[in-house]
Amino acid sequence: MNFNDLNYYGIALGAISFLIIGLFHPLVIKGEYYLGKKMAWVFLSMGLIASILSLMQESTFISVSLGVFGFSSFWGIKEIFEQIERVEEGKFPKNPNREYK
């Protein structure tokens, strides 16, 4: 087996996906803390921009990376609303400068 013949794209894309998904965990927490529901619009914008840019790429590697980022952003919209519920349940700190239900 020759290491020059191996395709490293799968491993690289797996690592990039892992890092992107890991990035969104603190983004959701901090975004909800500082922006609340408004963060959903940020995630929607990022998701749309990344998805459109993904369609324009010639490189499959970059296209897939942007696609993962875009759909992770869309998933972040759902997570923002779940984070709001977690804050209301007392599992995460409330921002003292904002009103909650």
Token pair, residue 2, equals: 């020759």
Distance, C-alpha 43 to centroid of its chain: 8
The pLDDT score that the predictor gives to residue 61 is: 94
- The pTM of the full predicted model, rounded to 2 decimals, is 0.88
pLDDT digits over 41-90, tens only? 999 999 999 999 999 999 999 999 999 999 999 999 999 999 999 999 99
Mean of per-residue pLDDT scores for the chain: 94
pLDDT digits over 9-54, tens only? 999 999 999 999 999 999 999 999 999 999 999 999 999 999 999 9
End-to-end CA distance of the chain: give it in Å, rounded: 62
Amino acid letter at 42?
V
Q: How many residues does the chain have?
A: 101
